[in-house]
Structure 1
Amino acid sequence: MSGPAPGGGSALALLAPGPGTLTLGVELPLDNDWSTAGRQRTRAAGRPSGVPDLRHHRERAALADRLGYTALWLRDVPLWDPGFGDAGQVYDPFPYLGHLAAATSRILLGTAAIALPLRHPLHVAKMAASVDRLSDGRLLLGIASGDRPLEYPAFGVDYAERGQAVRDAVRIMREAWRPVPEQDGGPTVRVLPTPAQPTVPLLMAGHGRQSPQWLAAHLDGHFTYHRRPADMRPVAERWLEVCGDTPRPLLTTMFVDLAEDPGAPVRPIRFGARLGRDALTDYLTGLQKCGVAHVALNFRFSERPVEDALKEIAAYVLPVFCGPDRT
């Protein structure tokens, strides 16, 4: 079953208002624990590397909401692997989404992404619909096949079959969210609540062991790894070609270490850059011209306080790009 076209009264219409537009979000945790000072604080606190300091997470999420960012994104790390290192935002995504729904008012709430084969799709459908109701229709459900092989035997799931598990789960969730008319002859078993949106938008992070054609036919958007604009262009062109007459938004992430000097040039880092706000504006403009609809900024490498980076980008970079009026 194919997913709905973008828009149609959903959070997707706020994330990707139309062709040629770019919106900006932020990826949780809103911590700079991978900066020089952040690593020092991590060691002093006795935290393992990759486990962020969450003391100010609620205030920073609320700040991003007030400043006009379009979306907050969080990850699904069911089991922390010290060898893998990154614990994401630590909290399980679904109760955390409920918490963020109460802590914010306008910003979209997205997952990037739920490791779908490790969860029963009916549980995911119910939790996602619950969050969508609690947030007044602000949920974007990013999904994936998962990237940590040790988790699969722990959950009793066959790693080799994760691609089929993703396809089955998407079908089951779409059916669970579909309105069911009242029928004569007795009650109908169904998932409650229904989403606040017509359906919960589904976005694939990576390919989820699927073909591009399957993604375009069954999902509402695609999250791809960060690339500089010159390298992103062929990726975006292939995605738009596969989507055909029903374009689906292309999303990406970017690590940002925002320099104090507004004119500081681009210095590449893994999956992002150290740069001033002028170069950041140019960099994002390049991604926009490629056809990228949304960029989630990640501040874990930021040498400056997260609040400072959020405020400067909101003041000088956000106004440059098209998107919904969030003032």
Structure 2
Amino acid sequence: MNILERNGREADLKNLAKPGALARLSAGGFSIGIEAPLDNDWTLAGDQARRQAGRLPGEPDLLRHADLAQLADRLGFRALWVRDVPVYDPSFGDAAQVFEMFSYLGYLAGITRDILLGTAAVVLPIREPLLTLKSAATVQRLSRGRLLLGVASGDRPVEYPLFGRDFAGRGGNFREQVALLREGAPSRLPPGLEVLPRLDAPLPLLVAGLAQQTPGWIGEHMDGCLAYPGTPGDHARRAAAWRNVAGAKPYASFIHLDLAERADEPMQRWRFGFRGGREALADELRALRAAGVDHVGLHFRRNQRPLAETFHEIAEHVLPLFHTPSPAVTAAAEETCNA
């Protein structure tokens, strides 16, 4: 067996032995991921580079996105999250990761092995339901079960007329699309027709916001929560409300981080995140875990240091404080070593 065959077999064993994506998200009680785009274009240096390159405000540099995604995968970050922004709107000034979301996830599925791939979140009411189902099933199959499907009703009214959708009726549309994602296509198609690929397993659905629904409906029909960034105190209240309607289903959120070079640099909090050293980051993550948060995605567009350097520091000094290898992954590694 040559080295390429052996590496491929090891990856196959790891994936076959793993639990589902939702269980992996909060395995060990808490996990840390990354939110795309993988660029620090919201810094002064990043904005200067953007102007020189002729990119729009909020349009990141994507030259190293693949290398950085693979690095995050190798270093052990639990999930990589992408957003659904179909049309650039200068009033928002944010193009997200630029690429069409499901196409991008298919690409990421092919260049990564282990990291979960999440949407934060698909705006269901502006999408064609059967194509959304087909796209999600495709990514789930290509990634070998690593998809986490975050869903939402959307908050940009300008998009709805462009897609011929009714903004006021987005709540009802959202419920109908969730039912389709749950039940699959057979009940919606004439006899003999089918949407392929078939789902290998139920799609894990995590909701951003309330999506125009009641808390009770959300708690019953969703598998997890994607909460807006906030302080540990904010999350303690929100997580308690989520647990009240959803029980132990995962609760995830995000931090806009600028990781300082000094390990002990104290926290300077801002809206949606903070600047501080790795000790402040570890303290904040402990506080979020205590508040009931199961997963945190780190957003680096404000980060002033090179992202590869930052990823390495967090992987070396912070991830080991929170991540423990799951029994399934350990068993797969042992089986590979004994082969």
TM-score by length of 2: 0.88
- 1:64 equivalent to 2:65? Answer no
| Aligned partner letter, 2:194 | R
Read off the aligned partner of 2:197 and give its amino acid letter. P
1:51-71 per-residue CA deviation (whole Å, 9 max, x = no partner) reads 000011000000000000000
SS in 1 for 2:264: coil
> Residue 210 of structure 2 aligns with which residue?
207
Q: 1:295 to 1:177 in 2, by over 3 A?
A: farther
What letter corresponds to residue 53 of structure 2 in structure 1? A
**Matching residue's letter, 1:32:** N
Q: CA deviation at 1:77?
A: 0.5
**Is the 8 Å Cα contact of residues 133 and 181 (structure 2) preserved in structure 1?**
yes
1:311 and 2:319 matched: no
Instruction: Name the CA distance, whole Å, in 1 between partners of 2:298 and 2:79.
Output: 10
The size of the alignment, in residue pairs, is: 309
Secondary structure of the residue that 1:111 maps to in structure 2? strand
C-alpha contact (below 8 Å) 1:23/1:323 kept by paired residues: no
Aligned equivalents of 2:166 and 2:124: distance in 1?
Answer: 13
Write the mapping of 1:122-137 to structure 2, written as runs, cut at 5 A.
122-137=130-145
Bigger helix share: 2
203-212 or 249-258: bigger deviation: 203-212
Q: Deviations 1:232-272 (Å, cap 9, x if unpaired)?
A: 1111111111124xx21100011010000000111012200
Q: Equivalents in 2 of 1:230, 1:150: separation in Å?
A: 33
Structure 2 spans left out of the alignment, 5+ residues: 1-17, 331-339
TM superposition shift of 1:323: 4.6
Q: What root-mean-square deviation, in Å, do the aligned CA atoms of Structure 1 and Structure 2 show? A: 1.7
Does the alignment pair 1:54 with 2:62? yes
Shift of 1:47: 1.0
Q: Deviation string for 1:199-236 (max 9, x for gaps)?
A: 11011111111122111100100101111112211111
Are residues 1:31 and 2:35 paired?
Answer: no
Alignment of 1:177-326 (within 5 A): 188-196=192-200, 198-244=201-247, 247-325=248-326
SS at match of 2:168: helix
Output the amino acid matched with 2:219. A
What is the distance in 2 between the residues matched to 1:41 and 1:142? 32
SS in 2 for 1:157: coil
Q: Please report the TM-score for the alignment, with normalisation by the length of structure 1.
A: 0.91
Q: 1:30–1:306: 8 Å Cα contact kept in structure 2?
A: yes
Q: After TM superposition, which residue ranges in structure 1, 4 or more long, deviate above 2 angstroms?
A: 186-190, 322-327
Q: CA deviation at 1:139?
A: 0.4
Deviations 1:65-123 (A, max 9, x none): 00000000000001111111100000001110110001100000010011110101211
Give the unaligned 5+ runs of structure 1: 1-7, 181-185
